[in-house]
Amino acid sequence: MTIQSKRDCLRHFLATLAYRGTNVLQDLPAELSTHRPAEVVRSPVEILNHVNGVLTYAVSFFEPLESTRPELADWETEVDRFFQVLTRLDLLLADDVPLNEVSEEQLLQGPLADAMLHLGQIGIFRRMGGSPVAAENYVLADIQIGKLRRPS
């Protein structure tokens, strides 16, 4: 698919988050999800909850929400939530729902970039815990707009 608009670019970024998220979140050893290397450092489940919060914040620019801070849940629930909020954002963009208060560029530079950064942090936890993400050339990855589902 050819990117023809800012929204297509954002949707491609969401698909990239889903693809990279799948690689980093899938099969995380259970003991790593709650591990904190220091008291002031978030655990992977807390990081993913934060990612879900910033992505929910992105949703709030399309539709009013009571809260953009989801309650902390267990690892599998947070992983499910990640793919659900990505799908919600993708549908809002695909349906051309108007953005309120921010531009597409601000959405990218704020919550979407923050989400990618934090997925990288979880990747570092995996490497530190002896379960690194497999090496891959992401330039050649099969990333497609709208392909956001969590693999089974």
Query: Which residues 6+ apart lie within 8 Å of 9 measured at CB?
Result: 3, 104, 108
Q: Residue 34: how many CA atoms within 13 Å on its side-chain side? A: 7
Is the predicted pLDDT of residue 2 greater than 70, yes or no? no
Is the predicted pLDDT of residue 137 greater than 90, yes or no? yes
Give the residue with greater pLDDT, 72 vs 4. Answer: 72
Is the predicted pLDDT of residue 150 greater than 80, yes or no? no
pLDDT recorded at residue 149:
73
Nearest-CA neighbor of 122 among 50, 43, 49?
43
Is the predicted pLDDT of residue 12 greater than 80, yes or no? yes
Domain ranges of the chain: 6-140
Q: How far apart are CA 101 and CA 125, in angstroms?
A: 35
Is the predicted pLDDT of residue 65 greater than 90, yes or no? no
pLDDT recorded at residue 47:
97
Mean pLDDT of 105-127: 96
CA 139 from chain centre, in angstroms, equals 19
Q: Name the region of 114 (left: φ>0; alpha: ψ -120 to 50; beta: rest).
A: alpha
pLDDT recorded at residue 38:
86
pLDDT recorded at residue 68:
78
Nearest-CA neighbor of 30 among 39, 17, 43, 42?
43
The band of 151, judged by pLDDT with boundaries at 50, 70 and 90, is low
Is the predicted pLDDT of residue 1 greater than 80, yes or no? no
CATH topology of domain 6-140: Four Helix Bundle (Hemerythrin (Met), subunit A) (1.20.120)
- For the chain, the average pLDDT equals 92
Q: In the chain, what percentage of residues exceed pLDDT 90?
A: 80
Q: How far apart are CA 7 and CA 49, in angstroms?
A: 25
Query: Which residues 6+ apart lie within 8 Å of 121 measured at CB?
Result: 47
Query: Which residues 6+ apart lie within 8 Å of 64 measured at CB?
Result: none
